[in-house]
């Protein structure tokens, strides 16, 4: 990852565009293709000129890696009082001097959004504006792998085939006696990890621990606080982390609370579609994009809590502890323009455990602020049933639903040792107050969610229909035992693999020739 920072001088139209020009030189040097450079330049120049027109001063922070460029434009200026209006084409608050020069047509922000693959905007009136966008160098294609964070340890696999049965999207395969994940189908839930008794499927996390000198803020999942048995509680864990040198420890519960409040308000002031689905679990958001694209409009337009935390702390040297692969992917999904580290939860747990050994939790005051969700569904099997029901229009009596891939929400992530129900109950009784402050923000999702084409058989609909017929025909010749011995989760999945060229029909041991 290569990073750079360019200064932008507010009000200086003569120099306006210099930061973008420097960015262009950098992209050209590393050989980024022309169309990506072009999109980056449109967005960067608009963002830079916004600082020149509206702010006192600002910086453009750039991070480039082989897959994308991430640009943050941060200014000290008047801020944007109403972001929705600012995003409307034609709305502008630019002074006449800017308009005379051809700027201030009210197209800048929409133009940035249109030309970028990721876009976020945060602003505080009288303080300034944080604008961030990213552009992928290669367009993401149908079969292109979607990043996921489930790691396979081949040597540990006992070929029990449980993961094939468990995967809710049929993304698991057994090939050459080793588990394989079809990335375009994987939603980063934890179903396969949860059933793998051999420990061959794990959270893919980099081993080194961010040092407190580098990371001043540590963001910890609420569920982490309850992984130390009945003794120490959240307050003791926070104290131990302070003792390790982390100046500030924040709980993911802060962003979860902020999201809950924001989604409730969104539901009340007139949501597009009901019931409103809260984007609290990134894996469920993936699931909806993959298998229930018709329900995308039901998802409240906010970032998931982990994404909001990442965005809110982007200018800080923060480190994050993911609770599951989907959070890990959300953290990693895009490079950052600041120091951002991901901390392996197991490593952190092993470092904290000796520090809290023998402590007893202080009985906290009655938890405040930790509002309970109106309606929560957890566990991916249950979630699938609910999503089906919503798709069939059978859930009109619900306003807001929080869906989690893991049982009992993040307390049920299989990376944790404590029993989910127990951990959650302990947390709610004594730890609910941790993180129940108003500091965190729920951030709007500026780029609408797109359906993931993973399930589509072919980009061309006619060919897809043809393939569907072939699959049906082939599936009829298979025994229907869904035994997984061939390496596919069901007979129908094998038929699909054969038609897609991923397997041969000989793989079936029971087929009557």
Partner 1 sequence: MTLDTLITRIGARWIVAGNASHIAICGAYAGDRVSDLLNHVSEDTLLITHLSNSSLIRLIELMDAHAICLAGGVEPDEGLVTVAREQNASLAASPFGMYETCGKIYAALSGLPPGGAP
The C-alpha atoms of residue 214 and residue 218 are separated, in whole angstroms, by: 10
How far apart are CB 461 and partner 1 at their closest, in Å? 31
Contact set with partner 1 (CB under 8 A): 13-14, 16-18, 20-21, 24, 34, 38, 41-42, 45-46, 49, 100-103, 105, 107-108, 111
The C-alpha atoms of residue 223 and residue 323 are separated, in whole angstroms, by: 8
Mind giving me the DSSP string for 378-436? ESHHHHHHHHHHHHTT--TT-SEEEEESSTTGGGG-TT--S-HHHHHHHIIIIITTTT-
**Residue 135: phi, psi to the nearest 5?**
-130, 125
Looking at residue 157, what DSSP letter applies?
A: -
Locate 224 and state its tokens: 């982490």
- Comparing CB distances to partner 1, the nearer of 39 and 310 is 39
Helix or strand (DSSP H, E) at 173: strand 172-175
Radius of gyration of the CA atoms of the chain, in A:
24
- Comparing CB distances to partner 1, the nearer of 49 and 171 is 49
- Comparing CB distances to partner 1, the nearer of 106 and 179 is 106
How far apart are CB 107 and partner 1 at their closest, in Å? 3
The C-alpha atoms of residue 243 and residue 233 are separated, in whole angstroms, by: 15
Locate 383 and state its tokens: 């979630």
How far apart are CB 102 and partner 1 at their closest, in Å? 4
How far apart are CB 90 and partner 1 at their closest, in Å? 10
- Comparing CB distances to partner 1, the nearer of 30 and 469 is 30
- Comparing CB distances to partner 1, the nearer of 38 and 360 is 38
* Partners of 120 in the β-ladder: 132
Classify 68 as helix, strand or coil. Answer: strand
What is the biggest distance separating any 2 CA atoms in the chain, rounded to whole angstroms? 80
Sequence-separated (6 or more) residues with CB below 8 Å from residue 497: 173, 488, 503
- Comparing CB distances to partner 1, the nearer of 22 and 347 is 22
- Comparing CB distances to partner 1, the nearer of 26 and 105 is 105
Cβ(137)–Cβ(67) under 8 Å?
Answer: yes
- Comparing CB distances to partner 1, the nearer of 112 and 281 is 112
Give the dihedral of Cα atoms 283, 284, 287, 293; nearest 10 deg. Answer: -140
- Comparing CB distances to partner 1, the nearer of 25 and 155 is 25
How far apart are CB 94 and partner 1 at their closest, in Å? 11
Cα dist from 287 to 24, 28, 140, 401, 405, whole Å: 37, 37, 18, 15, 9
The C-alpha atoms of residue 276 and residue 382 are separated, in whole angstroms, by: 17
How far apart are CB 88 and partner 1 at their closest, in Å? 14
How far apart are CB 60 and partner 1 at their closest, in Å? 13
How far apart are CB 14 and partner 1 at their closest, in Å? 6
How far apart are CB 224 and partner 1 at their closest, in Å? 46
């Amino acid at each position: 990852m290569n990073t750079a920072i360019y200064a932008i001088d507010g009000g200086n139209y003569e120099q306006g565009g210099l930061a973008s020009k420097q960015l262009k030189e950098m992209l050209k040097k590393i050989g980024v293709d022309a169309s990506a450079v072009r999109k980056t330049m449109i967005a960067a120049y608009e963002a830079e000129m916004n600082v020149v027109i509206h702010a006192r001063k600002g910086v453009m922070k750039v991070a480039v890696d082989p897959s994308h460029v991430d640009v943050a434009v941060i200014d000290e200026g008047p801020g944007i009082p109403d972001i929705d209006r600012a995003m409307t084409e034609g709305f502008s608050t630019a002074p006449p001097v800017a308009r005379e020069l051809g700027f201030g047509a009210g197209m800048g922000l929409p133009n940035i959004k249109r030309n970028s693959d990721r876009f976020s905007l945060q602003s505080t009136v009288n303080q300034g504006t944080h604008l961030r966008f990213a552009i992928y160098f290669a367009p993401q294609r149908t079969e292109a792998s979607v990043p996921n964070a489930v790691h396979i340890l081949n040597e540990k696999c006992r070929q029990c085939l449980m993961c094939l049965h468990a995967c809710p999207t049929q993304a698991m395969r057994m090939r050459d006696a080793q588990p394989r994940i079809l990335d375009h189908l994987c939603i980063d839930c934890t179903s396969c990890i949860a059933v793998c008794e051999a420990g061959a499927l794990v959270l893919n996390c980099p081993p080194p621990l961010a040092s407190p000198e580098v990371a001043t803020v540590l963001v910890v999942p609420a569920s982490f606080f309850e992984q130390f048995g009945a003794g120490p509680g959240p307050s003791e864990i926070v104290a131990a982390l302070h003792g390790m040198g982390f100046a500030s420890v924040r709980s993911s519960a802060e962003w979860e609370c902020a999201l809950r409040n924001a989604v409730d308000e969104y539901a009340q002031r007139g949501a597009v579609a009901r019931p409103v689905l809260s984007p609290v679990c990134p894996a469920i958001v993936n699931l909806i994009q993959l298998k229930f694209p018709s329900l995308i409009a039901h998802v409240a337009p906010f970032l998931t809590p982990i994404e909001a935390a990442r965005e809110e702390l982007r200018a800080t040297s923060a480190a994050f502890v993911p609770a599951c692969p989907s959070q890990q992917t959300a953290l990693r999904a895009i490079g950052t323009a600041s120091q951002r580290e991901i901390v392996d939860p197991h490593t952190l747990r092993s470092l904290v455990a000796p520090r809290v050994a023998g402590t007893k939790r202080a009985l906290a005051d009655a938890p405040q602020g930790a509002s309970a969700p109106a309606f929560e569904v957890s566990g991916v099997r249950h979630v699938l049933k609910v999503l089906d029901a919503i798709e069939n229009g059978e859930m009109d009596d619900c306003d807001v639903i929080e869906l989690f891939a893991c049982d009992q929400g993040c307390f049920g992530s299989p990376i944790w040792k404590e029993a989910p129900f127990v951990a959650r109950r302990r947390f709610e009784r004594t730890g609910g107050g941790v993180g129940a402050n108003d500091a965190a923000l729920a951030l709007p999702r500026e780029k609408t969610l797109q359906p993931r084409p993973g399930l589509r058989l072919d980009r061309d609909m006619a060919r897809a229909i043809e393939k569907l017929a072939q699959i049906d025909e082939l599936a009829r010749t298979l025994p229907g035992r869904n035994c997984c011995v061939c390496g596919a989760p069901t007979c129908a999945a094998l038929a699909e693999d054969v038609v897609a060229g991923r397997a041969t029909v000989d793989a079936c041991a029971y087929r009557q020739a």
